[in-house]
Structure 1
Amino acid sequence: DINKASERQLFQIHNRFILSQIKSGFMLINQQSAHERVLYERFLIQLENHSGLSQQSLFPQSVTLNSSDFELLKELLPDIRALGFDIREFGKNTVVVEGIPADLNNVGEHELLEHLLEGFKNNQAILKLNKRDNLARSLARNAAIKAGTKLSLEEMNLLIDQLFACQMPNLALNGKPVISTFTMNELLERFEK
């Protein structure tokens, strides 16, 4: 039912949703939820296989954390490295970030690390997830494209292809749907008097 990428007619609505025509009508995709799902499943695989690639920084950044975040980071360090982070301890409550996961672009190391730890703590308190699931979820949420981001046609096609390669493409990390489909019959009923 999903057309090939070269044949898809895609439109971005309010830099938040992707509209795609399908044989039975159309589907509406929440771009942020879709990208979170793609990244989450990718990060879970990287954690399992220790296969995350690192993009080395030209200028490594030192990050100072409070003592509890520093202890949490030390506990999570093997898994964080498996995702592609290149981090080493550098004094009291300080680390040097020499590389971040290769598929994370335009993300500051300091903010990424702080948001990752904050998301991890929030998930731990609320959702009671296992460590790797929690880490993958936290990083995906922080690294995903956000609502309001303009996407090119190529980026929309790539995101849709990656989404449909996921094991659970229709389930957002918050449990809500990523995709809503509308049939031609639903559209016609809406406009017929």
Structure 2
Amino acid sequence: MRVFSSTYTFDYSWPEVSTANWQKYCPWNKTSSHVIAVDTLSREVDPITGILRTERLITCTQTCPVWVSTLLGATSPTSHIYETSYVSPADKRVTMCSTNLTWSNLLSVRETVVYEPDLSCSEPGHERTKFSQEARITALCGGWKKIKEKIEEASVERFRDNAKKGREGFEMVLEMSRRVWENEKEREAREKISA
């Protein structure tokens, strides 16, 4: 098993990040063009805790090294990921857990992402959000230790590259969302003045 982990701080408030998170795979995010579809399987709010729990199926195209796809017997570039997310407004925490469904008998990828306020930021009126990500990648190739290690290493490297692109894309989504929110606030202010 190999573990990939990273942390990052977004220069946006937790409400902005937790709201924009649902737009991460929107068509104008060019870094997520590999995502074909995002299907919501279930969504419910716990009446006691207020936690929003959502299950989604994410369908995307994946490219991997030819030797890995040959070894895994990959005949289609389409893959499916199952994601469960928990949004806790009381704790100001978004937790997203995902696992691959495609090739899961040969390669297991379990990822956990958390968004929460960056409490180290003490500037009044300037909120930031801390992002932490961990992926546990395990090749399930029986006793072929060298092949297993190579697949895990290649998968971690690919995950690292994709994580960087994903953060850059999410920054674009956050910027666009902030513009929309600011325009909406300006429109509401104009309506109040004219009323």
TM-score category by the smaller chain?
under 0.3
Alignment TM-score, normalising by the size of structure 2: 0.24
Query: If each structure's helix is expressed as a fraction of its own residues, which one has the higher value?
Result: 1
Q: Which has the higher contact order (CA 8 A, sep 6+)?
A: 1
Query: If each structure's strand is expressed as a fraction of its own residues, which one has the higher value?
Result: 2
Alignment TM-score, normalising by the size of structure 1: 0.24
